[in-house]
Chains A and B, each alone.
Chain A
Amino acid sequence: MTSLKQLFGGGARQFGMVFALIALVIIFQIATGGKVLTPTNAQNIINGNSYVLILAIGMVLVIIAGHIDLSVGSVAAVVGIIVALAIRDWGIPWWAGILLGLAVGAVIGAWQGFWVAYVGIPGFITTLAGMMFFRGANQYIGKSNTVPVPEEIQTLGAGYLPEWGPNTGLNNWTLLLGILAIAGVVYGELRKRRSARRLGGTPVPLWVSITRMVALGAVIAYATVLFGSGRVGTSFPVSGVILGVLVLLYGFVSSRTITGRHVYAVGGNKVAAALSGVNIRRTNFFVMMNMSVLAALAGIVFIGRSTASGPFDGTNWELDAIAAVFIGGAAVSGGVGTVVGSLIGGLVMAVLNNGLQLMGVGSDSTQMIKGLVLLAAVAFDVYNKVQGRPSIVGLLMKGARRGRPADPGPDDSTAGTGAVPVSQNETLARS
């Protein structure tokens, strides 16, 4: 039981969520008679949701810090129209358009960050105002017209990686990415074991690590074949590559940098963080500004996919992104959440959408189901918090916990015998 817990839980809580996602995919695969796991459909899922997933990455940091950003859809829309118009009317090259868009996003983010961090207006209010203002700005600047974007931008939103090299039967870029991803998984697992040993603990049993590596590796290998074996000229989508880079980058920032740790601290206990010397204002400014920059990127990717910028781009995106973050395990009260969890939460929503659509379920029922899924996911979270249990897996393993040697009892510690400060505890070996 304990080993099973290590396999699924073991610190990598997302691991359990990955399996929830896989289960969902398999259910739909069976229910639709194999329409979900086709190369084209898989590529469509990524292309059609990458912008929401990009938003979810920024949103999870905002929510961890204890805020919320309702303006992301409008910010994406206003950046989209500015980029489209700048390229069409000013004739600037496409890459300059992208840089301009990101810069506009940064300026908008600085504006919102200023109000949230330095004036102290709650993020909800600031970004509600931003939602109205920037929606209006999009329609004012674009005169409510639809403005087409050049092909390079379209590649960003809906394009594929080029073909090269020998004929392997797969798209070679996709193959290479898959191999790199598997190598990354193996490296990460080894690193985790080494770190556990360095701290004087015992790493999880070897077979757990190997099972984990094999399982994740198999999933990645399957995805590689799935995405790579589409019709010639298609591959893992460009927008998916952008997303992957962002997930790696922000996963790193959130878990292994001081800035990321301060975001968690501010969300967990603002007063304690301030007393400890965390610069609360700078942290809040960072998360709000970062969110708008990512919203700008999402807007650019989206106008690429839809080949034009229109007056109603980005409507309700903020809600999709927020839903993804909460399904991904973030706490409403802040301080809890992960980038990878939000990505998976977003993918759960995307697969749900896609699968129901393929099953021929109407958009009315789809909305209802999505609403219930969100509610159920968060209810689960709240229930676990009340119970002091960390995850679904923790709940399933309720019995296993009791069987483990209990923490040194209070009687022991007064007598001084229970003094096993750290070491030889299996929790140490987790990451």
Chain B
Amino acid sequence: MALDVEWTTTQQQGRPSPGGPPLLALRKVTKRFGAVEALTDADLTVHAHEVVALVGDNGAGKSTLAKIISGVLQPDSGTVEIDGDPVSIPNPAGAHALGISTVFQDLALCENLSVAANIFLGRELRASKRSPMDIDGMELASAQILRDLTITVPSVRTPVRELSGGQRQAVAIARTLTTRPRILVLDEPTAALSVVQTAEVLMLVERLREMGLGVVIISHNLADLRAVSDRIEVLRHGRNNGSFDAATSAPEEIIGAIAGATRAVRPAWATR
């Protein structure tokens, strides 16, 4: 119930504040795989407190763009800027260092381990240099993180195997927050989730925006994106094909941009 109130307040206040360099900006990014241009002069900006949705048909370059942000792929040309400064993101570790976290489509969770163990996997806490592992500390911290995000799990000691799809997605997102990122990339976070679980995840995205993160969310589900995002960026054949205000634009316009009805774009095969 308390959440309902917050939901409406974020709807009103959640708009990004203009002015100042964007948290993340991609400018004229091009990426080729052999002869195929996955991205051509693509632009993307993300501000703090902003959820930017990235939509497009299959093969439009959404995931390629996400992988460039998360350091998995390197652009062939174009620049990536963080706080207005050009940076290079050589690998996922480099992205982490720059405050960029990614939750990939296939969840990177160990189902045999507990929620707390997953949240701190690879970054286990020690009480001191000499001590083996601070299990209590990690469980307490995990409980805190989950509580902050109002994620509901039976217990931080529950094995991930026993969680629902939505809870797993929530844990996957929660674990990225242990590194205190400023930019979070979510690749298809609601794919294969039930309606209720999707609502849970979207609520979580709202909360991330409240916490001041810049969120890039990739999805096929326009209804979900319109509910949660501030701005919808359409990609088509690796190019920007329109930017829409999620609150005011009509779904038909966006679908038109995705399908290529609103702007004449030569099909990919014609440019080869």
Residues of A at the B interface (CB closer than 8 Å) are 195, 198-201, 252, 256-258, 261, 264-265, 267-269, 271-273, 275-278, 335-336, 388, 407-408, 410-411, 413-423, 425, 427-428, 430-431
Contacts of B151 in A (CB 8 A): 421
> Taking the complex as formed, is B53 at the interface, i.e. its CB lies under 8 A from any CB of chain A?
no
- Residue of A252, A261, A278, A427 contacting most chain B CB atoms (<10 Å): A261
Given contacts A410-B197, A422-B146, contact A276 B122 (CB under 8 A): yes
Q: Could you tell me the distance between the alpha carbons of A419 and B108 in the complex, rounded to whole angstroms?
A: 24
What are 27 A-B pairs with beta-carbon distances under 8 A?
Answer: A258-B124, A261-B113, A264-B117, A265-B113, A267-B112, A268-B113, A269-B109, A269-B112, A272-B107, A272-B110, A276-B121, A277-B93, A277-B122, A335-B112, A410-B197, A413-B152, A413-B200, A414-B196, A414-B200, A415-B1, A415-B3, A416-B1, A416-B2, A417-B1, A422-B146, A425-B155, A427-B158
- The answer to whether B110 and A265 touch across the interface, beta carbons within 8 angstroms, is yes
- Of A275, A407, A408, A423, the residue contacting B108 (CB under 8 A) is A275
Distance (Å) between the CB of A382 and the closest chain B CB? Answer: 15
Q: Could you tell me the distance between the alpha carbons of A29 and B63 in the complex, rounded to whole angstroms?
A: 66
- The answer to whether B110 and A268 touch across the interface, beta carbons within 8 angstroms, is yes
Complex interface bits, B103-127 against A, C-beta within 8 A gives 1, otherwise 0: 0100111111100010001111010
Q: Could you tell me the distance between the alpha carbons of A362 and B123 in the complex, rounded to whole angstroms?
A: 54
Residues of B at the A interface (CB closer than 8 Å) are 1-4, 92-93, 104, 107-113, 117, 121-124, 126, 132-133, 135-136, 139-140, 143, 146-147, 150-158, 161-162, 175, 194, 196-197, 199-200, 203
- Residue of A257, A388, A408, A422 contacting most chain B CB atoms (<10 Å): A422
- The answer to whether B150 and A261 touch across the interface, beta carbons within 8 angstroms, is no
- The answer to whether B110 and A422 touch across the interface, beta carbons within 8 angstroms, is no
Distance (Å) between the CB of A301 and the closest chain B CB? Answer: 27
Closest 3 CB pairs of A and B: A416-B3, A277-B122, A276-B122
Contacts of B2 in A (CB 8 A): 416
- The answer to whether A413 and B196 touch across the interface, beta carbons within 8 angstroms, is yes
- The answer to whether B139 and A264 touch across the interface, beta carbons within 8 angstroms, is no
Contacts of B150 in A (CB 8 A): 416, 419, 421
Distance (Å) between the CB of B228 and the closest chain A CB? Answer: 14
Distance (Å) between the CB of A383 and the closest chain B CB? Answer: 16
Q: Could you tell me the distance between the alpha carbons of A388 and B159 in the complex, rounded to whole angstroms?
A: 11
Q: Chain A residue with minimal CB distance to B146?
A: A421
- The answer to whether B155 and A422 touch across the interface, beta carbons within 8 angstroms, is yes
- The answer to whether B155 and A428 touch across the interface, beta carbons within 8 angstroms, is yes
- Of B112, B121, B146, B162, the residue contacting A388 (CB under 8 A) is B162
- Of A268, A407, A418, A423, the residue contacting B111 (CB under 8 A) is A268
- Of A269, A335, A421, the residue contacting B153 (CB under 8 A) is A421
Q: Could you tell me the distance between the alpha carbons of A422 and B148 in the complex, rounded to whole angstroms?
A: 11
Distance (Å) between the CB of A318 and the closest chain B CB? Answer: 24
Q: Chain B residue with minimal CB distance to A275?
A: B108
Contacts of A278 in B (CB 8 A): 121-122
Q: Could you tell me the distance between the alpha carbons of A2 and B126 in the complex, rounded to whole angstroms?
A: 34
Distance (Å) between the CB of A195 and the closest chain B CB? Answer: 6
Distance (Å) between the CB of B72 and the closest chain A CB? Answer: 10
Q: Could you tell me the distance between the alpha carbons of A278 and B123 in the complex, rounded to whole angstroms?
A: 8
Given contacts A256-B132, A414-B196, A425-B154, contact A336 B112 (CB under 8 A): yes
Contacts of B123 in A (CB 8 A): 276-277
Q: Could you tell me the distance between the alpha carbons of A257 and B151 in the complex, rounded to whole angstroms?
A: 27
- Of B112, B153, B156, B158, the residue contacting A268 (CB under 8 A) is B112
- The answer to whether A199 and B136 touch across the interface, beta carbons within 8 angstroms, is yes
Q: Could you tell me the distance between the alpha carbons of A278 and B120 in the complex, rounded to whole angstroms?
A: 11
Distance (Å) between the CB of B158 and the closest chain A CB? Answer: 6
Q: Chain B residue with minimal CB distance to A198?
A: B136
Distance (Å) between the CB of B180 and the closest chain A CB? Answer: 16
Distance (Å) between the CB of B222 and the closest chain A CB? Answer: 20
Given contacts A269-B111, A272-B110, A335-B112, contact A419 B152 (CB under 8 A): yes
- Residue of B93, B113, B146, B147 contacting most chain A CB atoms (<10 Å): B113
Contacts of B147 in A (CB 8 A): 421-422
Contacts of A195 in B (CB 8 A): 136
Q: Chain B residue with minimal CB distance to A279?
A: B122
- Of B113, B139, B154, the residue contacting A427 (CB under 8 A) is B154
- Residue of A335, A414, A420 contacting most chain B CB atoms (<10 Å): A414
Contacts of A408 in B (CB 8 A): 152
Q: Could you tell me the distance between the alpha carbons of A425 and B199 in the complex, rounded to whole angstroms?
A: 24
Given contacts A256-B132, A410-B196, A422-B155, contact A416 B110 (CB under 8 A): no
Distance (Å) between the CB of A131 and the closest chain B CB? Answer: 28
- The answer to whether A261 and B117 touch across the interface, beta carbons within 8 angstroms, is yes
Contacts of A411 in B (CB 8 A): 196
- Of B104, B143, B158, B194, the residue contacting A199 (CB under 8 A) is B143
Q: Could you tell me the distance between the alpha carbons of A425 and B46 in the complex, rounded to whole angstroms?
A: 40
Q: Chain B residue with minimal CB distance to A422?
A: B143
- Of A199, A261, A420, the residue contacting B124 (CB under 8 A) is A261
- The answer to whether A256 and B143 touch across the interface, beta carbons within 8 angstroms, is no
- The answer to whether A273 and B152 touch across the interface, beta carbons within 8 angstroms, is no
Q: Chain A residue with minimal CB distance to B139?
A: A199
Contacts of B157 in A (CB 8 A): 427-428, 430-431
- The answer to whether A272 and B109 touch across the interface, beta carbons within 8 angstroms, is yes
Contacts of B108 in A (CB 8 A): 269, 271-272, 275-276
Q: Could you tell me the distance between the alpha carbons of A413 and B167 in the complex, rounded to whole angstroms?
A: 11
Contacts of A388 in B (CB 8 A): 161-162
Distance (Å) between the CB of B151 and the closest chain A CB? Answer: 6
Distance (Å) between the CB of A280 and the closest chain B CB? Answer: 11
Q: Could you tell me the distance between the alpha carbons of A408 and B196 in the complex, rounded to whole angstroms?
A: 13
Contacts of A272 in B (CB 8 A): 107-110, 121
- The answer to whether A261 and B133 touch across the interface, beta carbons within 8 angstroms, is yes
Q: A264-B110, A275-B92, A414-B200 are in contact. List 11 more A-B contacts (CB 8 A).
A: A199-B136, A256-B133, A257-B132, A265-B122, A276-B175, A388-B162, A421-B147, A422-B146, A422-B147, A428-B156, A431-B157
